[in-house]
Amino acid sequence: MHLKSKLFSSLSLSVLLGLTATASLGQSVVLPLTVVNASGGWNGVNSAVDGNPNTMWNSQGPAPQFIEVDLGSDRMFSRVRLLPAQSDPGYSVHRIIGKTSAGQEVNFTTYGNFTKDNQWIEISNQLEIPVRYVRVLTTQVNSWVAWREIQVYDGGDLSESCYSNEHGYGWAIYATLPGSSKCPDTQGHFLVKYRDVRNQPSGTLINSCSLYGLQGWTIVSSSKFSGQCDAFQNSERFILRKD
């Protein structure tokens, strides 16, 4: 059967019949971090990742300043949480930059908003790109750059297959790429890319070509002819939020 037909049929049956699946979901994982680089003052740099909001790292200077953490291996992350030590509240700007073990840099996002001392900043990531290092580069803030805590949440395992039924409940198909030399024996030669989203916390945003197996997620938006989901009708791609 054509891959597109198999994928669409399983989705249609799930929606039409109201089928649900159950699974015991574990807690979302906050990755253990090691600080490997920082601008400004180095003293107390590990206080930014010690789990204690009453300690802090202070760069000893105004923006721009950065701090970089090691995730331990190349991992996708779903969000970065930052707890500032900020003497004066106001508008601040922070860039999230990743780097792979091979040294390739990835510009994930830029966050700008009103921030104040001891109030968490939440920055989501939907890019399915594993990196080993995450750098927080502050380019604007009213006080010296300082952090009480930095947290990085695991985004889940990524895998790929030539088949749409490789994984079941809680795995999102975030892309189906045609013409792959890895899949010479399937019609369309689609390479199916998966992400394990079973342990993601409430509010997490993900990309998905399908709703199948993703009970507990709500559609935020969708776009047709995305170019990322060609094994599906209209190449429609959804942005979903965890309930």
Residue 148, domain extent: 34-154
Whether residue 160 is contained in a domain is answered as no
Residue 74 lies in a domain: yes
Q: Say if residue 7's pLDDT is above 80.
A: no
Is the Cβ–Cβ distance between 198 and 240 less than 8 Å? no
Q: Are 175 and 202 within one domain?
A: yes
- Tens digits of per-residue pLDDT, 87-138? 999 999 999 999 999 999 999 999 999 999 999 999 999 999 999 999 999 9
For residue 178, say if its preceding peptide bond is cis, omega within 30 degrees of 0.
Answer: no
186 in the same domain as 108: no
At 13-60, the pLDDT tens digits run 222 222 222 222 335 689 999 999 999 888 899 999 999 999 999 999
Q: Tens of pLDDT along 177-216?
A: 999 999 999 889 999 999 999 999 999 999 999 999 999 9
Q: What is the torsional sign of CA 7, 13, 18, 23?
A: negative
Decide if 201 is inside a domain. yes
Is pTM beyond 0.75? Reply is: yes
In this prediction, residue 144 has a pLDDT band, given cuts at 50, 70 and 90, of very high
Regarding whether 40 and 15 lie in a shared domain, the answer is no
Number of domains comprising the chain:
2
Is the domain of 53 the same as that of 14?
A: no
Domain CATH number, residue 77: 2.60.120.260
Residue 29 covered by a domain: no
Among residues 125, 154, 183, the one where a domain terminates is: 154
**162 is a domain residue:** no
Buried b (16+ CB within 10 A) or exposed e, 79-95: bbebbbbbeeeeebbbb
In a shared domain, residues 146 and 208: no
Residue 59 lies in a domain: yes
